[in-house]
Every structure is written in structure tokens, then in C-alpha cells.
Chains A and B, each alone.
Chain A
Amino acid sequence: MSSTSSWITPATRPDLIENLVSGVDRYNPSNVSILEDYLYHQIRSQEYDCLANLAILKLYQFNPALYNPDVVINILIKALTALPLPDFNLCIALLGERPATANQDEPDPLPSLLPSLTLLHASLQQCRFPAFWTLFKSEELENLRDNYTIEVVGFEDSVRSVVVRAVRAAFTKIGRDRLGTYLDLSGDALNAYVSKLEWSIDQSTGIISVPPNPDNQVEATVVRENIQLPQLSKIIAQTALTV
């Protein structure tokens, strides 16, 4: 069981989607609505399936007529919180050239939102969490909040999961205030969040202990060469022959 297996095949992925993602039916434009419905299902139920969403973008890439900017924006919002996995850039890589003939009836919201999404992604990727929250809550991003992220159930909590992944790896102890700015939480909300993580707070000092995990336990090691018998098999066989 590899740590990527839930990324390659999330446990929540239905068989129908699995068949699409893994078979040649993924190229069939008439299947796009199935995948789009699945995306909206992910948005409502806090699930995430990167490969299925990439399959939508692939269909858009081959069939520009299918292009639906709202779907693309939602895919990018979901990919944003997959960090440190590279999902966001993998999605952008498939967006490619936009059709020059924009739909005249309805302006495409993606070109105006893409720079903001990219900035949000960059601040998360660079662990500049307080900056992320400031930007996210800024006036310029009102459109993104009111029309998109509000529909993504648990969006802010999934941003916090990105924070938690970074903090867990780097800290054994972290000040309460610092963590608060990273999570954009304070007071009781912060206490509740920390206790949900099962991290302990020392109320007198305000220091939070992060439980040991493979990344925050560091120790110096010396690696010595370890020679396995099979590596020597040719030499031994040869010696046996020449005797």
C-alpha cells in the first residue's frame, strides 16, 4: 500500500468513474457530464479526486466546445488544497490555449480569477499562511468567495489541513499565537481546532505540542554500506568455475 494510492484511486471513487478514468471512455466527449457531476459531488461532500478532475480538463483540451469555466474554477479550488501535492500545476498545465472566440453572451470569469488563484496557490506553496488569509479575505477576491469557494463545503478547513501538514512536519512545539495566524483562528475556535487534532496546549505558556511523527523526529544517522550476497553472486560463481 503506497502513500500515493489514495491519490491515484480514492476510496470514495465510484466504479463508474473508475472505468472512465482508467479506460478509453475517458476520451468520449459525451461522458463529460458524468465527470462534471462527480466534481460537484466532491464539492458538496468534501471528497477529492484529482485524476477524475484531470480527465475533465483533458476532455476540454480536446473539445474546446465543452469548456465550462465554472467547472475549471472549481477544479482549481479543489486542487489548491491538495498541497504539497502538485495537483494545482497539473491542472493548469492542461488548460493550455484558450479558444480565441470567447462566448459573447457570457463573459468568461476564468481569465480574471486565474491570477488570484495562482497567487493563492503560491502563498500556500511558500507556507506564507497569514498572507494567504489576508489575500483570500481581501475585497478583490469577493467574487471568488461569494460565487465559488462558498459552494465548496469545508474549503477553509481544507486550507487548514494544508497548514497542519506543514506544521506537523516542521515543529515539535509551536506558539499558540503563531499557529492561530496560520490557521486564521483565535480564541475558542482555535482551542477547539487544536483539540480536534489531538494536539495539547499548555494553557499557562500558550505552547502547543505537536505529537511525534516521521517528519518531526530528527536524529543524526550514519549510513554504512550494506552489501548483499546477490551482488557478489557473479564473482563467486566465476571463482567457483576457475578453481
Chain B
Amino acid sequence: MSQRMALWAAEAEMDEDLHEVDLSLAMGSYGQNGLYEDAQPRIDEATMASFQHQMAQQAAFAQIPDVVKRFIVHFHQAVLENNLEQITVAYESGWNRLTEKYYAKTEWPEAEIIAPLVNDDQIFLILYRELYYRHVYSRLSPNIDDRFHSYENSCELFNYLLNSDGPVQLELPDQWLWDIIDEFIYQFQSFCVWRSKVKNKSEEELLMLADGGQVWSCYSVLNVLYSLIQKSKINEHIIAAKEGKSEEEINEIVGEYGSRHLYKMLGYFSIICLLRVHVLLGDFTLALKVMENVELNQKAPLTRVTACHVSTYYYVGFCYLALRRYPDAIRTFVSILNFILSMKQYHTRSYQYDQINKTADRMYALFAICNALSPSRLDDSILNIVKERYGEQFAKMSRGATEESIPAFEELFLYACPKFIAANPPPFEDPDALSAYLDAATTIEPAQRHLNLFISDVRAQASVPTLRSFLKLYTSLDAKKLANFLDADEEDMVQQMMVMKLASRSISRVGQEGSLLDGETISTSDLDFVIDDNMVHIVESTVGRRYAGWFIRNTEHAQRVFNVIRKSPLPVAKPPAPTAHVTPPQNAPPAKSGPKVSWAKVSA
């Protein structure tokens, strides 16, 4: 009789999974692009002067620093020309630098004020507002008008993209496309959390919320995501690509929208955000189901934008946790956390660095939770970091559900879980119901509800760690004797043994293709037992030490270092003249893929 495939025996393919990262791809969006000032086109003084003149009467306009005005004009020009490189420079570097310098604590100028700078270009103004509101949400605190207007602006943007005469000719960098969709969902979630706090709302706010209608409703948000998915035919695209169809065939299938990069990526990112929305609403199966065509590997398009890559794995991993598929959750977190570690040297200066680090930290906490519930030796280096950061909680949690450990589970879960939202607003339109809503002690925060469910799962396997530590000492043992050791009733103990058995089995995707929901029952524990009437027979499996991965990685690393050294010019003592510009790039750490790294752009 064959045994269950064991988790710890199936690591070979995972190694591959974890280390096949194409750094050059992922680094693209982190390239330390040329400083904005360097790329400044020469806007001739006359044009500038005429703008100045036209708007002289506007005090607000006059207050805008010249460098900001030049930036906006240049940014607009880049968007008009679909010049992706210049757009990227302005978007990733210029905007953030100017924000630091002039708008760290205030809003950017309103779109209406800068409109003359961009010939009243409505499309650019929509994009500008997208950035404007994102800045308000991230740096300041949005008021109700900001929340309503950012929704309207997003709708205008999506309306333009989806309901123009045919596909629009606009092109934007992947990073920005991701940020647009991601921010849309963030603002939705932020709105839902904000509106659920009824107590501190003013009369005026309550009135506006009562009249709010579809603003930030679940249906309107899902509608945007599904429309982008359908318009771009992204699912058809992925399926066709998997079937090995040629580019022409694929373009035929996906049509005029889907064959444009902008729509394709928006559709793709919409799937990822759909995953996120469903998790926020507590629908973990649907969340994984919408991802059924998306492949999670290091070559998938989602890795092109690191923020998207990290976010995807976080939400997928959390779904597995909610589905009690702890080995899959662990595997998902290990994969992305290793990636983040390997990226560390490249993205420290990215404007998303903080966000990525925060998510990573939450994933270490989730990893600790999963590992306490389903101990595995999947990745010692990640486990060591977890012990450094959450050592105290991890030790408590590993002891099973005692009165000490439950608070540790609660603390880490609440810290690391997604920002769950309620699907429906409080009854703003009905004053009586609203006051009843306020009085009702039963209104539980969504996060608290999910926490309670999770804790019930934890409690269900409460005694497993204790039993486990006892069983480890024996190869066979009378059930009565074991019950005596444990100071427990024999029948109780036998029931706990069945719980332990079930806890050592899990559904997992290990060693399997197929969608994220697919899986096979595997054994997750190195300790197994069986009860023969009144005798308990215990066996333990041992895993030999693994050397190969370590040696392979280090050999490859040594080869890369060797190659770099070989390619470097000899340090010949030459007169200090023209060779100076050849060497500088070489002092940077070698990238996995060789010479194609982004600092090349500095000299370009």
C-alpha cells in the first residue's frame, strides 16, 4: 500500500521554483532612472512666458514652483508622445522627488489649476488626478470629498479606457498600470473601513453617505475589474499562450483590445486585484478560483511589477491559510520571501520599498502561524528570520492552544491578516436603523469575525503538540499507559489521536500542476502513528541533510563572480586618461542574468 506523498520529500522541484528568478526582469521597475532634471527637455522660454502671462491672474497658479510647472509640461509631453521611458522617469522619479520637496505635507495643485499647462488635455488631467488623489491618500488624510471625487475620477478613467471608440492609443508603464488598479482597490477598502465607523461622522457626512448610492459599492468595483478582464480577453490570452499558440493566433483570439499592451496588462492586474477583493470580503475559494488561469511562477507576467508579485503571493498564501492548507501557505510565503531577500539590494531605494517590507513582515508572521500549526522544515533560513522577529510568539504558538498561546496567535493574526471589509454600508439612509446599528453590541468588526473563525481552527488541534512530543519517545505504547502519562481519560486521548492524525494530513498542490484550488492529500508530519485496538504504533521518518541546493547555489554564485572578475580589465597602471569611464559599473554586485542591469541607463 502506497503511503501519502510526504511534503518533506517533495522539495526538489521547489528549489527550482524558488531560485529561477529572473532578476533583470524584476529589476526593470526599480531601475535607478536618470534624475529627472537630467532628462528635462528644453522648454523654450517663450512658451513658458506665454503660460505665465495667461495665468498671471491666478494666484494659485503663481504659487506653483517653476520646477513643478516644467515637470508637468514635460510629463504631459511624454504622455502625449507615448514615450514610455520618459513617462517612467517622470512617474517614478520626478513625481516623488517633487513630492518630497514641495508637497510632503500638502496637496499637489488641483487639476483645474494646472490645466492651462497641458492645454486642458482632459485625459492627462484624469491621470494627473489619479496621482493627485493617491498622494492625498498616502500622505494626507482624505476627507469625504476626496473619497467621492477619487471614485469619480477612477470611473472617468475606466470609462475612457473601456467606452471610447475602440481601444485608446495611450501607453503607460506596467508599474503605473498596476498602481492604478491597485490604488483603486486600496481606496475602495479604505472607504469601506472609514464608512463603517459611524460614530465620528458629521451630519453633513452622514447625509452624503446616505445619498452616496453606488459610490464605492462592491458591485461597482467588481464591475470595473470584470470589465477590464473581459475587454482584454486576458483569460483567453493566457489559455492560448499555454496551448502554445503563435503571437498572430493569440492576437486573433484576443482582438483589438487584448492585443494592446495597455489593455492586456490592465486585464491581468485586474485578475490579481479580484483575488484581493474577494479575500477582503472573506471569499477565499472564489479568490483562488478567479486566479485559475494565472500561473504562479517566477516567469509569470505578475513578476514584472514587484509590488504586484508580492501582493499576489500574500493574498494567495492567506487564502491557503483560511482553507487550512498550511503547507501550501508556507510554500507560497517561502517562495516570495526568498525573492524579496534576493531583491533587497536592488529595491532599497524604490518608492515602494517600505510597502514591500511591511507586507514581507506580515508574511513572516503568517509563516510563523502556519509553521506552528503544521511544522515543516521547508526553509531554514526563513524560519530563522521568523524566530528572530517573532521568537516569543512562535515558541508559544508551537506549544499548542494553551491559554498562553492563544493571545500569540491572535496578536500575529490581527497584525498580519488582510484589512477585511464589510460588504455593505451601515444603514445611513434610515436614521432609526442607523441608531439601532450604533446601539447594537453585536456589530463585530470583520477582522474580529475572521479571527474568531481562525482561533476555532487553532483550538480544534490544541493538544496536538503535546501528544506529538510524547509519541516521539516511543515506538509502540499501550493507549492506557499513554493516557496515564498525559493524565487524561483514555477515550479522550484516543479522540485527540484522531485529531492529530487529521492534522498531519493536508490538501496540497505539492508536486502538482493545475489551478490553485487543485490539490492532493499529503502527509505533513515526520511523525506518524496508527492505533491497533489498544496499542499505538509510532514511526518517525528522517530526512537526510540536504547539501545539493546549497552547493549548487554557491557554485553558481562563485562562477558568476569569477566571470565578472575575468571580464574586468586588468588594473594596469596607465596614465589617468580615457579609460576612466569603463570601470565604474563593475563594482556593483553581479546580477544573476549577467550584464543586462539597469545602471546601464545612467550613462545612456
Give A contacts to B, CB under 8 Å.
Answer: 2-5, 8, 22, 24, 27, 50-51, 54, 58, 61-62, 64, 84, 86, 89-90, 92-94, 96-101, 118, 122, 125-130, 166-167, 169-175, 178, 207, 212-228, 230-232, 234-235, 238
What are the residues of chain A within 8 A of B534 when measuring CB–CB?
Answer: 175
Please classify the interface of chain B as helix (H, G, I), strand (E, B), loop, or mixed, using the class held by over half of its residues: mixed
The verdict on B285 contacting chain A, using a C-beta distance below 8 Å, is yes
- Are A222 and B544 in contact, with the CB atoms below 8 A? yes
CA–CA, A106 to B328, complex, Å? 44
B224 to chain A, nearest CB (A): 13
Q: Which of A4, A61, A172, A228 sits near B531, CB closer than 8 Å?
A: A172
Residue of B nearest to A55 (CB): B286
- Are B4 and A215 in contact, with the CB atoms below 8 A? yes
Whether A2 contacts B520 in the complex (CB less than 8 A), given A27-B222, A93-B282, A96-B423, comes out as yes
- Are B219 and A27 in contact, with the CB atoms below 8 A? yes
- Are A8 and B559 in contact, with the CB atoms below 8 A? no
The verdict on B568 contacting chain A, using a C-beta distance below 8 Å, is no
B466 to chain A, nearest CB (A): 14
| Residues of B492-530 contacting chain A, CB below 8 A | 494-499, 501-502, 505, 507, 512, 514-515, 517-521, 523, 528-530
- Are B520 and A3 in contact, with the CB atoms below 8 A? yes
B2 to chain A, nearest CB (A): 6
Whether A228 contacts B12 in the complex (CB less than 8 A), given A27-B219, A86-B323, comes out as yes
- Are B533 and A170 in contact, with the CB atoms below 8 A? no
The verdict on B424 contacting chain A, using a C-beta distance below 8 Å, is yes
CA–CA, A61 to B540, complex, Å? 46
CA–CA, A86 to B285, complex, Å? 11
- Are B544 and A100 in contact, with the CB atoms below 8 A? no
CA–CA, A166 to B502, complex, Å? 7
What are the residues of chain B within 8 A of A235 when measuring CB–CB?
Answer: 552, 555-556, 559
What are the residues of chain B within 8 A of A222 when measuring CB–CB?
Answer: 541-544
Q: Which of B281, B422, B446, B498 sits near A170, CB closer than 8 Å?
A: B498
Q: Which of B218, B222, B501, B518 sits near A169, CB closer than 8 Å?
A: B501
The verdict on B548 contacting chain A, using a C-beta distance below 8 Å, is yes
**Interface-facing stretch out of B24-32, B68-76, B208-216, B433-441:** B433-441
The verdict on B588 contacting chain A, using a C-beta distance below 8 Å, is no
- Are A218 and B495 in contact, with the CB atoms below 8 A? no
- Are B530 and A54 in contact, with the CB atoms below 8 A? no
What are 25 A-B contacts defined by CB distance under 8 Å?
A2-B512, A3-B521, A4-B518, A4-B520, A5-B518, A8-B517, A54-B285, A86-B324, A97-B444, A100-B443, A125-B457, A126-B495, A170-B497, A170-B530, A170-B531, A171-B530, A172-B531, A172-B532, A214-B521, A215-B4, A215-B523, A223-B6, A225-B544, A225-B547, A234-B552
Q: Which of A86, A127, A219, A226 sits near B499, CB closer than 8 Å?
A: A127
The verdict on B97 contacting chain A, using a C-beta distance below 8 Å, is no
Whether A90 contacts B285 in the complex (CB less than 8 A), given A2-B519, A126-B499, A173-B532, comes out as yes
What are the residues of chain B within 8 A of A64 when measuring CB–CB?
Answer: 424
- Are B533 and A173 in contact, with the CB atoms below 8 A? yes
B contact residues, total (Cβ < 8 Å): 88
A8 to chain B, nearest CB (A): 5
What are the residues of chain B within 8 A of A92 when measuring CB–CB?
Answer: 453
- How many residue pairs bridge A and B at CB < 8 Å? 207
What are the residues of chain B within 8 A of A22 when measuring CB–CB?
Answer: 289
- Are B457 and A170 in contact, with the CB atoms below 8 A? no
- Are B519 and A96 in contact, with the CB atoms below 8 A? no
Extra 6 A-B pairs, beta carbons < 8 Å, given A220-B542, A235-B559? A2-B520, A93-B282, A96-B446, A128-B495, A170-B529, A215-B501
What are the residues of chain B within 8 A of A238 when measuring CB–CB?
Answer: 556, 559
- Are A24 and B226 in contact, with the CB atoms below 8 A? yes
Whether A96 contacts B1 in the complex (CB less than 8 A), given A220-B540, A223-B544, comes out as no
A208 to chain B, nearest CB (A): 9
Closest CB pairs A-B (n = 7): A127-B498, A93-B282, A220-B539, A173-B533, A218-B528, A2-B518, A170-B501
CA–CA, A97 to B9, complex, Å? 43
What are the residues of chain B within 8 A of A101 when measuring CB–CB?
Answer: 427, 430, 433, 436
A116 to chain B, nearest CB (A): 15
Residue of A nearest to B496 (CB): A127
The verdict on B322 contacting chain A, using a C-beta distance below 8 Å, is yes
B326 to chain A, nearest CB (A): 11
- Are A122 and B556 in contact, with the CB atoms below 8 A? no
- Are A89 and B4 in contact, with the CB atoms below 8 A? no
What are the residues of chain A within 8 A of B518 when measuring CB–CB?
Answer: 2, 4-5, 8
What are the residues of chain A within 8 A of B286 when measuring CB–CB?
Answer: 54, 58
- Are B4 and A214 in contact, with the CB atoms below 8 A? yes
CA–CA, A54 to B423, complex, Å? 15
- Are B3 and A174 in contact, with the CB atoms below 8 A? no
A240 to chain B, nearest CB (A): 12
CA–CA, A93 to B507, complex, Å? 20
CA–CA, A126 to B460, complex, Å? 5
The verdict on B15 contacting chain A, using a C-beta distance below 8 Å, is yes
Most chain A beta carbons < 10 A, residue from B6, B285, B518, B556: B285
What are the residues of chain B within 8 A of A4 when measuring CB–CB?
Answer: 507, 517-520
CA–CA, A172 to B457, complex, Å? 27
CA–CA, A90 to B531, complex, Å? 31
The verdict on B450 contacting chain A, using a C-beta distance below 8 Å, is yes
